[in-house]
Amino acid sequence: MTITISQGALPLPPGHFGLPVIGETLNFLYDPRYVEKRQKQYGSIFKTSLFGCSTVIAIGAEANRYLFANEKSHLSVGWPETIKVLLGIGSLVIQTGNEHQQRRKMFHKAFQPKIMEQSISGIESITHNYLDKWERMGTLNWFPELSKYSLDVACKFLLGVETSNDCHFSKLFEEWGDGLFSIPIRLPWTKFGRALHSREQLLIRIEEIVRKRQQQSHTSQDFLGLLLQIQDEDGNKLSLQEVKDQILTFLFGGHDTVASALTSMFMFLAQSPEVLATARAEQRQLEFKEPLTLEHLKQMTYLDLVVKEVLRVTPSASFGFRKVIKEFEFNGYRIPQDWIAVYVMRRTHQDSSIYTQPERFDPQRFAPERAEDKAKPFGYVPFGGGMRECPGKEFGKLVLKLLTAMLLREYEWELEPGQNLNLVLFPTPYPYDGLRVKFRRLAS
């Protein structure tokens, strides 16, 4: 496979642009097997049209490596217009160049182990409340519950506030999230129109939280504390608009992705009795008492493998979008300027030249003696890569391990029969029926 910068007139990748204006956007949004089908038809690089833009979809480790390595010189932010508008121009996801790099450096501080460690007891307390609630419910639709749970956890960690009893806040987030990948028609009854309205309401709520914090005399070293302290070279603080956009971005990044991964985790564990038994045995053997620490979580090495496999089979982000700012050649094809380039986590993780029987849920593939993810650089990309790699990945893994460990020790659950477990992919993957389960405390 060759990766060089274009020298002459090479062909465009195979594929077709679909219908006028909307192209293949509806297939992309509503058919979870769309990319797989086109890959079978055209191979691992193909052209199409999504969200009104000529697009190349490039699948696999080599493509990921190319896109991450050329982020500055040939590529820039390429998310669909709906996402840009709903996140706002002050969002890290939309920022580019020096501004983006400088903000990333700053946010890095908020995810240091010391800060994450301090948050564990607060997360444990939220977790106990949810476990008690789920036990009382007996049967539940888990994805919406996990979505509320992960929002509460993200609010506690990032902003230091409790949102457990604030159903309105989670409802607004749900409506906002539904608009992220939608058709950008701004009418009150369209998904996008409703999401815009929810954004306004969320920003009002976020501003209240920010103003309250500004009135406090002491400064906390959490995410919000850092946002309010940061100054540029001229001593200017971030504008209130940017603070609000950044908070919205991190609440989104830290909430839906985690809810999706937790839902997949509990589905796979319910379907894989051997994996479940081994994971429970590890918890029993470790016998850690609460409060858990980062060191305790580190010692849950089998659970680590399970987390990795969950994020391989069902990565919480299925695609990454970039805009081509300078034409390049990839694998013998010409990728013109102004096209959108999409990399694909899900299909990369199904590559049988990297993973044996990729369709199997098999955590042991990540054990040191097999280490299948090490076969090719960028063959395992649940958190993306390069300069836009997920800044919250360690915190995301912490939450996944913490809730799963607490569940494994004291609870059991089984899937209700007759439900649709096929995935809805956007904004993050979850089973069509939301994962309906019977939930109870383990008999002692």
274-302: b or e for each residue (b if 16 or more CB lie within 10 Å)?
ebbebbbebbeeeeeeeebeeebbeebeb
The structure tokens 């307390």 sit at 125
Closest distance of CB 441 from ligand HEM, Å: 27
Strands of the sheet with 340-344, listed across from one edge = 45-50, 53-58, 340-344, 319-324, 75-77
Kindly state whether residue 379 participates in binding ligand HEM, applying the rule CB under 6 A.
no
Query: Which of 297, 303, 274, 280 has its CA nearest to residue 409?
Result: 280
Distances (CA, A) of 19 to 16, 52, 309: 9, 10, 37
Which residues are paired to 139 by β-bridges? 438
**What is the C-alpha separation between 85 and 82, in angstroms, rounded?**
5
Kindly state whether residue 261 participates in binding ligand HEM, applying the rule CB under 6 A.
yes
Kindly state whether residue 388 participates in binding ligand HEM, applying the rule CB under 6 A.
yes
Residue nearest to ligand HEM (CB): 392
The site that binds ligand HEM (CB under 6 A) totals a number of residues, namely 26
- The footprint of ligand HEM on residues 139-178 (CB under 6 A) is 154
The structure tokens 């993810």 sit at 373
- Provide the token pair at 235: 């001593």
ω into residue 391 within 30 of 0, thus cis? Answer: no
Closest distance of CB 387 from ligand HEM, Å: 7
The binder of ligand HEM chosen from 25, 48, 257, 350 (CB under 6 A): 257
Closest distance of CB 294 from ligand HEM, Å: 15
**What is the C-alpha separation between 8 and 99, in angstroms, rounded?**
34
**What is the C-alpha separation between 278 and 4, in angstroms, rounded?**
47
The binder of ligand HEM chosen from 75, 180, 258, 279 (CB under 6 A): 258
Q: Which stretch binds ligand HEM (CB under 6 A): 133-141, 205-213, 214-222, 311-319?
A: 311-319
Closest distance of CB 82 from ligand HEM, Å: 15
* Eight-state DSSP code of residue 219: -
Binding track, positions 419-438, relative to ligand HEM; x by CB under 6 A: --------------------
The binder of ligand HEM chosen from 13, 23, 179, 382 (CB under 6 A): 382
Kindly state whether residue 409 participates in binding ligand HEM, applying the rule CB under 6 A.
no
Kindly state whether residue 344 participates in binding ligand HEM, applying the rule CB under 6 A.
no
The binder of ligand HEM chosen from 396, 427, 429, 431 (CB under 6 A): 396
Binding track, positions 55-94, relative to ligand HEM; x by CB under 6 A: -------------------------------------xx-
- Collapsed DSSP state (helix, strand, coil) of residue 155: helix
Contacting residues toward ligand HEM, per CB under 6 A? 92-93, 104, 154, 249-250, 253-254, 257-258, 261, 311, 315-317, 320, 382-384, 388, 390-393, 395-396
